[in-house]
Amino acid sequence: MATVNEIFTFEKLKKAHELCRRDKQHKHGTIMFEMELGRNLVNLVTRLQSKKYKPGKHKQFKLYDPKERTIDALPYKDRVVLLCFTKNVLEPRLENRVIYDNAASQKNKGTHFAIDRLHKFMRDNFRENKTNNGYFLKCDISKYFASLDHDVLLEKLNRVGFSDDEMWFMELTIRCFGAMGVPLGNHTSQWFAVLYLDDLDRHIKEKLRIKSYTRYMDDFILIHSDKEILRKCKAEIEKVCQHLKLRLNKNKTQIGRLKDGLDYLGFNHKLTATGKIEKRVRASAMLRQKRHLKVIAELYDNGEIDKKWLKTREQAFLNHLKGTTGVKVIKHHMKNIRTSKKV
């Protein structure tokens, strides 16, 4: 546990700024903050340590990849403060608290980790039953970030054992957004969302005894050979969600067969009759990738990006699509871009 004097030092805020400015050094807010960096950092230290700090207003904008999302972003100085708190308080305190198969926002985890765990559970089911006739329960929380209840969240955080100063800052951050929900654009929100369903994670693993379970934020999957057991799990999950003042998305929550495939984190995963797993890019996702490649081709033709940036972006694509037929598509289109051919 730490005090505001220990959390928000000049050195820690400066380091948070250096992390926060990555890939954003040309943004207006970053430039203005850096023009008087020392003064701005000292001002933040003074206001935070005296508890006179108040977050600025959220600026709202929309993203449309892969679907429409409303992002609420704070001014740059406040993002520095939130990142400082996240790195020095939330991450070290919560990483060891959540279950192993909670995959989001943690070091050495992420979407690839969650997919690897899913594939392991699918293979385990095949080995145990000698067939690909196993079942999955795929769940999705409706409007997850917007539905987080502030009182429930603060009670969960208080149970962790944070200090009074740490709780003061988190309540200030949570309450400033409105009556309920947390903003998608905040660093702290990611960890709040990771923790919020921890009771559900433990209910599934410890009370329902489901070994084959993985969660990435509000998307989670249970695998079992008995369909009826998964039906009972779904009913139990709905009860826990009701207690947390959440509800399942009925359109995205389903029970299906592993051999028919399931969509998870942008890919379709299918268990074949031989126990092999076929991982395919969803058609809608591949269409978005091709549209993105067309934009990259135009920027490259106009001289707005260079080969170094192109190589970095290509590697990012390939890492994301590793193990799928999409790798060949990306390599083909990137080769055309480098030779100045339109995609």
pLDDT tens track for 263-278:
999 899 999 999 999 9
Q: How many CB atoms lie within 10 A of CB 84?
A: 24
With 90 as the cut, is the pLDDT of residue 290 above it? Answer: no
pLDDT at site 67: 64
Token pair 């208080």 in the structure block, residue: 158
Distances 202 to 14, 81, 100, 213, 260 between C-alpha atoms, Å: 37, 31, 11, 11, 28
With 80 as the cut, is the pLDDT of residue 330 above it? Answer: no
| pTM exceeding the 0.85 threshold for the entire prediction | no
Cis peptide before 66 (omega within 30 of 0): yes
The strand pairing partners of 69, in sequence order, are: 63
Closest listed residue to residue 91, CA positions, set 16, 151, 181, 5: 16
Structure tokens at 6: 């220990």
Structure tokens at 85: 């708190």
Tens digit of pLDDT for each residue in 184-242? Answer: 889 999 999 999 999 999 999 999 999 999 999 999 999 999 999 999 999 999 999 99
Q: Are the beta carbons of 81 and 44 closer than 8 angstroms? A: yes
Q: How many CB atoms lie within 10 A of CB 61?
A: 10
